Structure 1
């Protein structure tokens, strides 16, 4: 399964839509989450149809800010639970591994003074049992090593974010290719980059998806990089090391073999089977 998350900073630009179409064609995500789309429902639904996604949910922009879109390829693969200006909650039915889990697509409040409200919102989604995955732009970092340039991040804000993850029993799924997902695009000494976008999951989710990667894609048409969560499970893990019985055809020519095999098939022997006697 593949989930694409991107703060696209406005999806009304034809170039941004073209970029999205290119990413979808190349990476083939099952679910696409967009933030800061700045679009009404009608235009968002049109983009979903253009990209040939069967499922679409929109949290409309307020004025010229905000706006979230969630798209999914197959209608029966995702079931919408609830949504707000900062999230979508859906149940994902992964038929490949017979696993149903909660996916939270999340957008942390861009205003640091109001971010605690979205932390409380996210914390309320923690399931009592079952798998839980979270992806999006959190507008916060965990530690100062997730930031280069500019002033140091407020320690209290980072601490609140760390506590949120700990209380939710979530694990950071890491990154691939590029640690930083946002930059301010300045070309002077004020240039800053941070890791604001990430994917998290609980232990139940991690126990099912043994092969996981979070790839940071190139920055195009936005100050945020898209991130692509890819997750799969290892097939045949329960029996890959089991030995199998093999009968060599030329053993039938050995003296007494025909009689032993015949008796074994008829079930006349008790204790050690006739077939085992061939190899004793």
Structure 2
């Protein structure tokens, strides 16, 4: 379905949607992953208390099942630009089903938050089996199922076959397949006194054969865990877009940095006309952004990479020192996201309004049109790690084709004699030419 290839879906047991740290993390994921449809679970708060936050992000509710205290809660939110494509077709206290329609094509998406009480989860399984009979288009079912399918989906504790069998029966009866997301093996962790005691795969994304046929490039990722004991799940209906380098633009947020005013004053104090001074300010601004201000993004990506590595290692080993490092990285990353939040605010329309007439084309900022460059979603690196980072994908693809087509062949000088003609002799190359020649 070409109409929905740009649709990215996020499902996350947020464990409290009003928390400031969760809001920052949510805002970062929405911006970085270009999310259009969101399912949030265990919200712990009434939606109207945070509706202003979501309006500022450009999202509106499709349907909300409010939490009862700290129990339950399912929010289905969509970007304002495509909210008209979604309509609610079924509501259950443990699931919301919407129909996505555009250009004469449609499919179903069900967000599930299954009850943590095993007996109550059985009602959810029966509901999904009954819903299967009425779904007449491609179907996706994703969310927090509070259940594992197999013993390999759990590390630590006792695996319950009695709870897994009804869950597996529901998946088979609905003809659903696991989309097999890339990233982490487990999606939930329980800690006691700072020490992990249990890892499980509780968050799933299931699709039927019709959805796989309609979205052959569709894929999913388990994102890093932050501020919650659940990992978010990202689903891309289309291929992963790879973007080229971004052209230089003046960033209004530089004006907030304590060193930038002095940079402009020093450049303006030098001899020369206005044009040369503006050019000097431009050159110094590029260097300033690279060496000083740009470090915000460098630190963010570095911390995210270290956090991913710590979480992957914690899936295999238990270490109190590693958990302390994990918590320290999480706290430091939250601080960097606060700094980046200020930067993105400076790039908004409010900043353009404050600058007024000073907002010349030199001080202009614009949105870069992101287009699809490749159909590669992720690669298995030689180390065995599954990677979807754009710079790594480009580098690995280049190395692969270089090794494939650029072989080093030793060629001896004598072997070239059959390729090139012999050199001209002195008789041919010297002296005047006669008529017969």
Secondary structure class of the residue paired with 2:191: coil
TM-score under structure 2 length normalisation: 0.50
For residues 47 and 102 of structure 2, what CA distance do their matches in structure 1 show?
28
Partner of 1:57: 63
For residues 189 and 67 of structure 1, what CA distance do their matches in structure 2 show?
28
Deviation (angstroms), 1:186:
3.6
Partner of 1:157: 163
How many residues were matched structurally?
A: 230
Matches within 5 A, 1:103-252: 103-126=109-132, 127-151=134-158, 153-186=159-192, 191-232=197-238
Secondary structure class of the residue paired with 2:218: strand
**Contact 1:93/1:99 (<8 A) preserved:** yes
Deviation (angstroms), 1:165:
0.6
Q: Deviations over 1:224-279 (max 9, x none)?
A: 0000011227xxxxxxxxxxxxxxxxxxxxxxxxxxxxxxxxxxxxxxxxxxxxxx
For residues 216 and 70 of structure 2, what CA distance do their matches in structure 1 show?
41
Secondary structure class of the residue paired with 1:192: strand
RMSD of Structure 2 on Structure 1 (CA) = 1.8
Secondary structure class of the residue paired with 1:81: strand
Which contiguous aligned blocks of 4+ residues in structure 1 show a shift greater than 3 angstroms?
Answer: 186-190
Q: Deviations over 1:163-218 (max 9, x none)?
A: 10110011111120111100003467762111110111111111111012210111
Secondary structure class of the residue paired with 1:225: coil
Partner of 1:66: 72
Secondary structure class of the residue paired with 1:200: strand
Relative distance call for 1:46 and 1:157 in structure 2 (3 A) is: same
Relative distance call for 1:143 and 1:94 in structure 2 (3 A) is: farther
Deviation (angstroms), 1:158:
0.7
Tell which deviates more after alignment, 187-196 or 121-130: 187-196
**Contact 1:215/1:228 (<8 A) preserved:** yes
**Structure with a larger share of its residues in helix:** 2
In structure 1, the gaps of 5 or more residues are 234-280
Q: 1:30 aligns with which of 33, 36, 52?
A: 36
TM-score under structure 1 length normalisation: 0.77
In structure 2, the gaps of 5 or more residues are 1-6, 240-437
Q: Given the alignment of the two structures, is residue 81 of structure 1 paired with residue 89 of structure 2, yes or no?
A: yes
Deviation (angstroms), 1:145:
0.1
Tell which deviates more after alignment, 34-43 or 217-226: 34-43
**Contact 1:135/1:200 (<8 A) preserved:** yes
Q: Which is higher, the Rg of structure 1 or of structure 2?
A: 2
**Structure with a larger share of its residues in strand:** 1
Relative distance call for 1:6 and 1:189 in structure 2 (3 A) is: closer
